[in-house]
Amino acid sequence: MSDIPELRRKNLIFLGAPGAGKGTIAKEMVAKYHIAHISTGDILRGEVAAQTPAGKQAEALMKSGQLVPDELVAGMVRRRIAEPDCRRGFILDGFPRTIRQAELLEDALRELELNIDAVVFFEVDDETLLRRLTARMNCRKCDAIYNKISRPPKQEGVCDICGGELFQRPDDSLETAKSRLKVFYGQTAPLVDYYRKNGLLFAVAADTIPAMMKRIAEELE
Ligand code: AMP
């Protein structure tokens, strides 16, 4: 018998401002429940690195902390959730980010005969968000996430997991981080009410990683 815990509610949206902890908790959930992690930010960074047409379209917008066009991201997500590894469940991390994206997601889900089972809203105050974003470090090779203050790697600049080089995302500079928060409040925050109204949303307050995992498990298992 498999000792991987099963989720009762398994197709999830992680909603929250940049720096709220969505990516970090998503990675913990993937390790624990073996569900798929779909981070539109990671997908887009891959497209930019490969200089695909989508990457070229997204590059300048990402650098300045603006959103890339709804149709472009929604198309990427639609293709990704149709892949077989998503049948065990998936986390949409950083998508949808606008009401239009939520509508496009609904169309895709209907077509694929899938449902969203829960929306996890990461509730974090602005001061904490900015502190976290500007101290964040990412691994170039495996995308692991560190924090210079609260979650430093064992050796400075080196990933504990794969030995890859750690770097600061260009959009995590203080100035761009502030713009990204503005974009969040203007374009993404309305989704909190949108999902609260259809009864899918529960909020998780900023806490230690184990405490947040416990709270989420209580809601979903
Ligand atoms: P993230 O890694 O989720 O913070 O995303 C980094 C950047 O990628 C964002 O600031 C946007 O420019 C772009 N991006 C990621 N997800 C989306 C989305 N769902 N809609 C539009 N732009 C996105």
User: Could you read off the pLDDT of 1-45 as tens digits, one per residue?
Assistant: 578 888 888 999 999 999 999 999 999 999 999 999 999 999 999
Work out the mean pLDDT of the chain and round it to a whole number: 95
- The helix/strand/coil state of 184 is helix
pLDDT of residue 107: 98
> pLDDT category, 149, cuts 50, 70, 90?
confident
CA of 58 to the centre of ligand 1 (A): 9
Percent of the chain with pLDDT over 70: 100
pLDDT of 188 strictly over 90: yes
Residue 22 is among the residues annotated as catalytic for this protein: yes
pLDDT of 88 strictly over 60: yes
Q: Atom 19 (ligand 1): residue with closest C-alpha?
A: 95
Atom of ligand 1 nearest to the CA of 62: 12
Domain limits, the chain: 1-124+185-198, 125-167
pLDDT of residue 53: 96
- The helix/strand/coil state of 139 is strand
Nearest to 18 by CA among 143, 216, 179, 153: 179
Average pLDDT (68-97) is 97
pLDDT of residue 17: 96
Tens of pLDDT, residues 110-148? 999 999 999 999 999 999 999 999 999 999 999 899 999
CA of 138 to the centre of ligand 1 (A): 16
Percent helix / strand / coil, the chain, rounded to 5: 50, 15, 35
pLDDT of residue 95: 98
Confirm or reject: Cβ of 37 under 6 Å from ligand 1.
no
Residue 81 · residue 112 · CB < 8 Å: yes
Any idea which fold 1-124+185-198 has? Rossmann fold (3.40.50)
pLDDT of residue 205: 94
pLDDT of residue 8: 86
Nearest to 101 by CA among 200, 15, 205: 15
Confirm or reject: Cβ of 91 under 6 Å from ligand 1.
no
Taking the model in full, what pTM does it have?
Answer: 0.93
Confirm or reject: Cβ of 102 under 6 Å from ligand 1.
no
Confirm or reject: Cβ of 95 under 6 Å from ligand 1.
yes
pLDDT of residue 150: 85
pLDDT of 166 strictly over 60: yes
Residue 88 is among the residues annotated as catalytic for this protein: no
Confirm or reject: Cβ of 220 under 6 Å from ligand 1.
no
Percent of the chain with pLDDT over 90: 91
Confirm or reject: Cβ of 62 under 6 Å from ligand 1.
yes
Q: Atom 5 (ligand 1): residue with closest C-alpha?
A: 41
Of the residues 10, 22, 45, 80, only one is catalytic, namely 22
pLDDT of residue 1: 54
pLDDT of residue 4: 86
Structure tokens given for 73: 């991201």
Distances (CA, A) of 78 to 75, 119, 133, 183: 5, 18, 28, 23
